[in-house]
């Protein structure tokens, strides 16, 4: 091997070593950010949140609270409330839905004016985009944060209703349960 080839191979090995060192530094940075997010989100434990989730539980005696919004503005938006088998029990015309959260309630009454049986119902929202295409909006339901955990998808939040949502799906954060109970 001549000197030029030897020098070229040394330069390539040095470059490879530099790239490997940079990759290790980036991996370390990503782990630090992930740990920081997990610690930051631990402040959610015990707090009431609104998070993506289409299921509501109608107990038969008090209205069901939920909210809707959309990533892009929707016109002619329509909320559909369906049974577990997909049968539509109620439809509510909303008009426009945007990125702002709209709080809503459902009183457990179907489109014929009859009270439905207690149980779990699926809520969907759908409307038209600016170019006339049908698109779904977001349904947000409340829950209390029980824990946060790291996963392959980032930081996940476990709620008291059994849902596990990504922390990016939490749209509103309220008071801690203890603060609500004491009136603080």
Q: What is the pLDDT along the chain (184 residues), one digit of tens a residue?
A: 688 888 888 888 888 888 888 888 787 666 666 556 777 888 888 999 999 999 999 998 999 999 999 988 999 999 999 998 999 999 999 989 999 999 999 999 999 999 999 999 999 999 999 999 999 999 999 999 999 888 887 889 999 999 999 888 888 888 775 555 555 5
> How much is the pLDDT for 34?
59
Q: Strand, helix or coil at 29?
A: helix
**Closest CA relative to residue 142, chosen from 71, 51, 61:** 51
What would the pLDDT profile of 67-100 be if each residue is shown by its tens digit?
999 988 999 999 999 998 999 999 999 989 999 9
> How much is the pLDDT for 109?
93
> How much is the pLDDT for 181?
56
Is 148:45 a contact under the CB 8 Å cutoff?
Answer: yes
* Other CB atoms within 10 Å distance of the CB of residue 27: 10
> How much is the pLDDT for 51?
92
Q: Strand, helix or coil at 9?
A: helix
**Closest CA relative to residue 80, chosen from 116, 45, 111:** 111
Which CATH architecture group holds 45-184?
Sandwich (2.60)
> How much is the pLDDT for 175?
78
Q: Strand, helix or coil at 82?
A: strand
> How much is the pLDDT for 177?
59
């Amino acid at each position: 091997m001549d000197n030029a080839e030897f020098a070229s191979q040394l330069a390539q090995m040095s470059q490879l070593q530099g790239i490997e060192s940079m990759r290790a530094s980036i991996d370390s940075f990503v782990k630090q950010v992930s740990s920081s997010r997990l610690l930051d989100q631990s402040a959610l434990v015990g707090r009431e949140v609104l998070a993506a989730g289409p299921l509501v539980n109608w107990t038969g005696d008090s209205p069901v609270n939920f909210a809707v919004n959309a990533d892009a503005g929707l016109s002619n938006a329509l909320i559909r409330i369906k049974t577990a088998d997909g049968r539509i029990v109620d439809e509510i015309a909303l008009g426009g839905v945007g990125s702002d959260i709209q709080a809503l309630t459902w009183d457990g009454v179907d489109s014929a004016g009859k009270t439905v049986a207690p149980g779990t119902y699926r809520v969907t929202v759908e409307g038209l985009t600016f170019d006339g295409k049908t698109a779904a909006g977001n349904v947000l339901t409340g829950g209390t944060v029980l824990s946060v955990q790291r996963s392959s998808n980032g930081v996940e939040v476990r709620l008291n209703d059994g849902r596990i949502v990504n922390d990016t799906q939490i749209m509103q954060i309220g008071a801690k349960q203890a603060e609500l109970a004491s009136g603080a």
